[in-house]
Amino acid sequence: MKYNELQAGPNRDRKRVGRGIAAGGGKTAGRGTKGQGSRTGKKHTAVFAGGQRSLVAAVPKARGFKSLRTPAQVVYLDTLNEFEGTTVDNAALFEQGYVGTPFHTVKVITRGELTKALTVKVAGASKSSQEAIAKAGGAFEKTPVPLKQSTKVAEAGDK
């Protein structure tokens, strides 16, 4: 083994300051002579502007709030007439291109009329759409949103 092939990193203890002149970092301990930075106690924050009104205080606050909840994917009743099959769930809606992902909340909303008898198994539906599904001879079943599996678990299930 050669000296330039060694994998050793620096192995130094942190410098202990304020332990006397002979120890190295004594007296002012690297803080300088006088001023706010040399004092003990509460330090000024990044937004502190030396007593002047800080930029954070000067900029007006944004009112309201932003919801972090992802909105439900909407499927309309009249589009379910073109649906192939008898059972409507997240996976089937995704395969036929009605929703972007099968792992989000799907809600059926009334628009137009439903003429097919379908069993709808999604997270939500409006009252009027539930009545329309029942009137057409179908049934609505409220089901939880399917969870996304890791690729390892999905591959193990396929085998």
Burial degree of 125 (CB within 10 A; 0-12, 13-18, 19+): buried
pLDDT in tens, 113-150: 999 899 999 999 999 999 999 999 999 999 999 888 77
**pTM attached to this predicted model:** 0.56
Question: Which domains are seen in the chain, by residue range?
Answer: 73-142 (3.100.10.10)
Share of the chain above pLDDT 70, in %: 99
Q: Which of 155, 157, 150, 125 is nearest to 139 (CA)?
A: 125
pLDDT in tens, 35-54: 888 888 877 888 888 889 99
For residue 58, what pLDDT band results from cuts at 50, 70 and 90?
A: very high
For residue 103, what pLDDT band results from cuts at 50, 70 and 90?
A: very high
